[in-house]
Structure 1
Amino acid sequence: MKRNYKVLLLMVLLAFASCSFTTKSFDDSDKDKMLIHIIKNILKEYHFDPIAIDDEFSADFFADYIETIDPLKRFFYASDYKDFEKYKLTIDDQLKVSDLTFFNVTHERMMKRIQEAKSLYKEVLSQPFDFSKDEVLDTDSEKLSFVNNRKELKERWRLQLKYSTLINYDDIYKEEIQAKEKDSLHVMKTAVEIEKEAREATLKSLDIYFNDNLDDLTREDYFAVYVNAIVDEFDPHTYYLAPRNKEVFDQRMSGKLEGIGAGLQKRMDYIKITYLVSGGPAWRGKELEIDDIILKVKQEDEKEAVSIVGMRIDDAIKLIKGPKGTKVTLTIKKIDGSIKDVVITRDVVELGETYAKSSLVEKNDKKFGVINLPSFYLDFNDYKRLNAAADVKKEIERLKAEGIGGLVLDLRGNGGGSLPAVVDMAGLFIEEGPIVQVRSTGESKEILRDKDKSITWDGPLVILVNEISASASEIMAAAMQDYKRAIIIGSKQTYGKGTVQNVMNLNNVVRNNTLGDLGALALTTQKYYRINGGSVQLEGVKSDVVVPGRFSYIDVGEKDKTNPLPWDEIDAANYKVLDTYYDYNETISKSKERMRNNAQLKLIDENAKWMKSKIDETLVPLNYEVYRATNQKNEEESKRFDAISEYKTNLTFKSHAYERKLFTSDTTDLKEKRERWYESMSKDVYIEEALNVLEDLKMSYAMKKVAHTKR
């Protein structure tokens, strides 16, 4: 919320008005100390639920920070940990006076261990691996303890590098098999030759990782990790943006992405895909999915792929991005554990593809509308230029002109966005009234209302959600559920993010700043509540009709994050459940009965359970025959789920008249993008059920109105 951000910034500026730095020369230590001082005070004064920086904080931070900088326990020794442990209960005291001793000690030791690791991995990779030996690697790093000596550390590196080489070995072996199938005269490489080539590829990846990535990291980069570990103790959505990361953030906000059109996030040592941009190269290719792990990246003009396991995310992105029209091959580890290569042609991705879009759909000679909304976007500087609510209103009007009898609002995968946008959007479906309640620490609640008495759509409404529908999506679904204005179909619960953040430019805090760019801080300043008084924090929004999905058994919600804020509730706002002729209870009962007997959903549920079982398998065989047999078994097992993507409804999707006119002068492949979307929806069992519900709502409306008229 723009107004709240300005008030917060003004308060911060006043609080730090006395901080004036005009001395001409400062070193990194001065800047780091000032950064700690500023952030510590901002967290104390303005975080929604500030925690005490005491011995308990110190112990928790100590464990989390060590886990962050050495998650696979492949750098530090047990003796290092013992040295660090001396500070376990004094970090809080250091932070209070901006003392950097703990950071300096761990940073200097890490620099030393990184240099030692350079010789260690080269030593390991100088000898062939025996892939006929029965060994396993446990990928669950939480089970690991720190090693006692170099011999034990070398063994840990050996197992991890053997696994990396095994993946390369499998790739090369498959290429040889394919080459032989294409050309019977092709002389296949021997196992010895394949092992050597695979090991050299691993060595090259490690050289790049250490020499081009780790060596390129500055003290500022490492200190940003330290600061982020501090603020992460407050909640998972408060985070520090170092100057270099702030530039990336600002570019993200500019309206264009270049590359494959996917959101990436580093979790432990791995780079995961968090979202796909609609219309982007990855989305068009249909092979990448959310939660896929990218193991390696290969450029089209290079023979060997580069491993990005353990790589800094900025450096991984540099490898994945590239000029429009060039190809990149990503080695992906799927959620079921299978590994495959995916070739993507890079392109310029317009964020406009993440805006609202709609479709007409015909079912049993009746017309309905579907609106897909990937986020609640809003341009705070020009409200009229870019506004999700205004765009959705336009789409509703265009669908109404075609004579639709019901509307589906698809918020699956919608991670949220602007509070003003969701308040305005909810107002499209009710006459007027409260939409959401917002509370800041120590202040009375604020009720955000729809004050416009006009209603854009008063007909049957269904909202689709899933486990990663978050924040503003949850506000929208909750408000419509509380008013009994819509039926919510989707996961058992939504994501469960009930907090509001503001991004603060720290350079505006220090007067006459000569310390250089300080970056920015995303700060949790408020919590929002349903109009019935309950919070969606942790609990999310419970669907009226629960259907299984691919995330049903996977830890993806707020409750699975580190240090989430607790659930609570406040007094309900003054609102009235809408009095309509729609029989929601009967309609929900009918939908639940259909869902219980739906073969497609049963198969989706079985697939979700199977994927969870694969995630829980942390032991990886390092014997190639066993590894290959395991992969083949998984591939065979997964074939029974092919029917999920082969499912077909009898629904017909098409564009409304306004969009059809655009096709004649379009230069952005809009028609092709829409046809791809329609094809996807024609296989979507959730859209199919949403339309069944709309039909039932229309029928219940007609019957109750007739009954009322007879009375």
Structure 2
Amino acid sequence: MMSKKALPVFALVLMGGILGALSCRGSNENDTLTRQQQLLVGLGMIIEQRHYSPKQIDDQFSQKIFDEFLSSLDGEKNIFLQTDIAKLAVYKDQIDDEIHGRAAMKFYPTAIEIFQQRIAALKPLYHDILSKPFDFEKNQTFQPISDSLDYPADEAADKQAWFDRLKYRTLVAYNDLLSQKAKAKPTDSLSKKSDATLEKEARETVKSYYDRYFDKRFNPATFNATQQFSLFVNTITHEMDPHSDYMPPLDQREFNEEMSNRFYGIGAQLLEKNGAISIESVIAGGAAWKSKKINVGDIILKVATGDAPLVDLSGYEVTEAVKLIRGAKGSTVKLQIKKASDGTIETISLVREEVKLDQAAAKSLIINQNDNKIGYLSLPQFYADFQDDKGARSAVDVAKELKKLKESGIKGLIIDLRTNPGGSLADVNKMIGYFVKSGPAVQVKNRSDQSQQLMDNNDSDGVLYDGPMIVMVNEFSASASEIFAAAMQDYHRAIIVGSTSTYGKGTVQTQLPLGKPNANGMPEFGGLKLTVEKFYRINGGSTQLKGVSSDIVLPDLLESVKAREKDNPTALPWDKINPATYTIWQPAYNQDSVIARAKLRITQNPVFNAITQTNTWMDANENRPVSLNLKQYKADQEKIRKMFDKDDKGVQLKDPLSISIMPVDTKQYLENQDKTKVDFYKKWKTDVSKDVYIKETTQIMDDMISQQKYFASTATGQATQ
């Protein structure tokens, strides 16, 4: 949840001297460390003075940062040795002094130096292990979960740990090849290969994986000083809470793009293939399309902004390459392209243009259920363009979708907020006013215990829809999604359907720009996204940790992922404040009756029963070691495969829902000259029609509509006795 408020004046006053000093410096290694420490001190000051509930930065805090930073570098404990940890232990209680500027910053650069030395030594180690066949007849097990493991005591222990890890990964690849061979036709070359040949190919596959992994993850071009420092600083911010983040300039721009639902680029979708960045599709009307010089399959070798030197994209992930290709509106980007047609290399200059992210925009359609038109509205994110008053706003787009659906004569409305991570507080506040009369939407409290009620911003739009309503959620519906679902539940305005509870993020963040704008229009030193408030339901309870509990629970495989707010050890606690004063909506149906009918139907649904059984099995086997005996491994995997195949097939309806597309959407999405948008919309429509969760939700809505019709007829004396 992002607050529209920002504190740029405070940030610039507090860090003005530091940022000014940094801007005048050069770029040698020692100077970079000096710049980083000065920035670290400034960030520490802001965090301590502005965070909602800052932890004391002392020796205890320092020890946590020590452990967490090493874990962020080596989460699987397959790189550092215990001797390395012992060497670094001298800094274990000094990191707080580094943050406060009382000591030079030594822990982070020393840890990085040792880390890079270990990385350099790993390639010959795993190459040597993978040069020899493995014996998969021994009764041996491997523990993939590394949280409880220790770092290897010495190089011999490290080699053994790598042997076990590589044997496990090779077994996975080998078993896959054996399964493919069993299904292959007698004429296929695969069917003629011996098991020994397949085992060798499996080892080659694992070797190639680790080569790519280390080359990409720790390539100096991508895991550079900026990325290393960002990783260290975010270890500190995340110890305060999981949602406070330091973002270097390119990451800051990427965040703004996600929030605004637009960016400035070349208008092409990229794909990483065999270590190269290639053009997967070209967006009609975009800069690449207009140039007539870039085609699907072309490889982007290098990129630069304006007259800057070209940057080689070898080893880059798509996400990292995208950051370099996108930039400020109207700026020039140079691309060195290898043509797919003839292999020639050409450098092309393009002016970055606006590209709208339609995939994340609000969309709607009509589900036909028992002669009832049910509106289905999908909102993947509460987006808002804070840089442009005329830019995309989720509240504005949702209002348009509601008006279209009402004009189409819907009898009920389903709003799908599954996996919606949240976004703009102002937009969710306004959206609540589309469904209830004027009243409180959410309560907010700052670090000084000052609280306020944010009203639903009911303006000229007024209540846009007053019929039966369901809100769909899951474990990854967070922040603004939870505010909306909680308000609808507290007002008795809608029935909440989905996972046992939503994510549980009840905090508000604000953005602090750090430094003057650079060539791409971003602050020179990036930005700080800082938790400054907590929000509360109008009934007084926080959504922090607990989330919003569904009125009707639909069993979901994501329940076993254990990735909610409550699963994060640095999450802020749950609490409550006084409830607001509000008037409960009086629905024209018996909510208890609808919920009871749905629960009975769900307990009799074989798909949901199978998912419940799978969740129970996954919980019981979460930390179970894996057998490295081929025969036992195959038996275990076959059992798991059958279980998940049953679940995967079950959630895809054999008889799709009947769906209608409104005429205006047919023109916008299906008759669009941009094939990428057409294909995306078609797939989205198909996914909706085959979703077993949406089917059950439409049945719940059908009950709500039927009861409403009954109550209406009873009120006019037309009920059948």
What TM-score bracket applies, with the shorter chain setting the length? Answer: 0.7 to 0.9
Whole-angstrom distance in 2 between the partners of 1:606 and 1:261: 37
Whole-angstrom distance in 2 between the partners of 1:368 and 1:709: 25
Whole-angstrom distance in 1 between the partners of 2:271 and 2:406: 33
2:488 to 480, 495, 498: 480
**Are the aligned partners of 1:180 and 1:188 in contact in 2 as well (CA < 8 Å)?**
no
Amino acid at match of 2:77: K
Q: Could you say which residue in structure 1 is the equivalent of 2:289? A: none
Tell me by how many angstroms 1:450 deviates: 2.3
Deviations 1:602-642 (A, max 9, x none): 2332233345456x154233334443343333323444435
**Are the aligned partners of 1:259 and 1:349 in contact in 2 as well (CA < 8 Å)?**
no
Q: 1:87 to 1:479 in 2, by over 3 A?
A: same
Q: Could you say which residue in structure 1 is the equivalent of 2:563? A: 556
**Are the aligned partners of 2:536 and 2:543 in contact in 1 as well (CA < 8 Å)?**
yes
Amino acid at match of 1:494: T
**Structure 2 counterparts to residues 70-469 of structure 1, below 5 A:** 70-97=74-101, 99-173=104-178, 181-183=186-188, 188-210=192-214, 213-216=217-220, 217-243=223-249, 245-246=251-252, 248-249=254-255, 254-255=262-263, 259=269, 315=317, 317=319, 351-442=357-448, 444-452=450-458, 454-469=462-477
Whole-angstrom distance in 1 between the partners of 2:321 and 2:200: 25
**Are the aligned partners of 1:501 and 1:522 in contact in 2 as well (CA < 8 Å)?**
yes
Greater alpha carbon shift after TM alignment, 16-25 vs 43-52: 16-25
Tell me by how many angstroms 1:434 deviates: 1.3
Q: Could you say which residue in structure 2 is the equivalent of 1:12? A: 11
Q: Matched residue of 1:525: which SS?
A: strand
Greater alpha carbon shift after TM alignment, 121-130 vs 66-75: 121-130
**Are the aligned partners of 2:2 and 2:509 in contact in 1 as well (CA < 8 Å)?**
no
Amino acid at match of 1:37: V
Whole-angstrom distance in 2 between the partners of 1:23 and 1:300: 40
Greater alpha carbon shift after TM alignment, 498-507 vs 125-134: 125-134
Q: Which runs of 5+ in 2 are unaligned?
A: 273-279, 282-296, 300-313, 326-336, 341-353
Indicate whether 1:33 and 2:37 are aligned. Answer: yes
**Are the aligned partners of 1:506 and 1:518 in contact in 2 as well (CA < 8 Å)?**
yes
Q: 1:260 to 1:165 in 2, by over 3 A?
A: farther
TM-score when normalising by structure 2: 0.79
Q: What value does the CA root-mean-square deviation take over the aligned residues?
A: 3.7
Indicate whether 1:503 and 2:530 are aligned. Answer: no
Q: Could you say which residue in structure 2 is the equivalent of 1:45? A: 49
Q: Could you say which residue in structure 2 is the equivalent of 1:66? A: 70
**Are the aligned partners of 1:259 and 1:324 in contact in 2 as well (CA < 8 Å)?**
no
Tell me by how many angstroms 1:455 deviates: 1.2
Q: 1:458 to 1:325 in 2, by over 3 A?
A: farther
Q: 1:623 to 1:242 in 2, by over 3 A?
A: farther
**Are the aligned partners of 2:298 and 2:338 in contact in 1 as well (CA < 8 Å)?**
no
Q: Could you say which residue in structure 2 is the equivalent of 1:304? A: none
Greater alpha carbon shift after TM alignment, 353-362 vs 592-601: 592-601
Indicate whether 1:599 and 2:603 are aligned. Answer: no
1:490 to 489, 495, 498: 498
Amino acid at match of 1:609: T
Whole-angstrom distance in 2 between the partners of 1:425 and 1:204: 50
Q: Matched residue of 1:236: which SS?
A: coil
Q: Could you say which residue in structure 2 is the equivalent of 1:269? A: none
Amino acid at match of 1:14: V
Q: 1:37 to 1:610 in 2, by over 3 A?
A: same
Q: 1:649 to 1:62 in 2, by over 3 A?
A: same
Deviations 1:161-215 (A, max 9, x none): 22333344345555655665334x8783334433444334433444444456535
Q: 1:44 to 1:508 in 2, by over 3 A?
A: farther
Whole-angstrom distance in 1 between the partners of 2:25 and 2:35: 13
Q: 1:699 to 1:570 in 2, by over 3 A?
A: same
Q: 1:64 to 1:665 in 2, by over 3 A?
A: closer
Q: Could you say which residue in structure 2 is the equivalent of 1:274? A: none
Q: 1:550 to 1:350 in 2, by over 3 A?
A: farther
Deviations 1:484-520 (A, max 9, x none): 111111111111111122233322499xxxxx94232
Whole-angstrom distance in 2 between the partners of 1:383 and 1:370: 28
Q: Matched residue of 2:443: which SS?
A: strand
TM-score when normalising by structure 1: 0.80
Paired positions, count: 638
**Are the aligned partners of 1:261 and 1:349 in contact in 2 as well (CA < 8 Å)?**
no
Whole-angstrom distance in 1 between the partners of 2:652 and 2:2: 46
Tell me by how many angstroms 1:696 deviates: 3.1
Amino acid at match of 1:583: N
Whole-angstrom distance in 1 between the partners of 2:672 and 2:213: 44
Q: 1:213 to 1:703 in 2, by over 3 A?
A: closer
Q: Matched residue of 2:539: which SS?
A: coil
Amino acid at match of 2:87: D
**Are the aligned partners of 1:554 and 1:612 in contact in 2 as well (CA < 8 Å)?**
no
Whole-angstrom distance in 2 between the partners of 1:319 and 1:17: 32
Q: Provide the identity percentage.
A: 34
Q: Could you say which residue in structure 2 is the equivalent of 1:527? A: 534
Greater alpha carbon shift after TM alignment, 625-634 vs 358-367: 625-634
Q: 1:687 to 1:187 in 2, by over 3 A?
A: closer
Q: 1:15 to 1:373 in 2, by over 3 A?
A: same
Q: 1:176 to 1:150 in 2, by over 3 A?
A: same
Tell me by how many angstroms 1:457 deviates: 0.5
Whole-angstrom distance in 2 between the partners of 1:580 and 1:635: 45
Whole-angstrom distance in 2 between the partners of 1:172 and 1:142: 30
Q: 1:220 to 1:579 in 2, by over 3 A?
A: closer
Deviations 1:280-303 (A, max 9, x none): 99xxxxxxxxxxxxxxxxx999xx
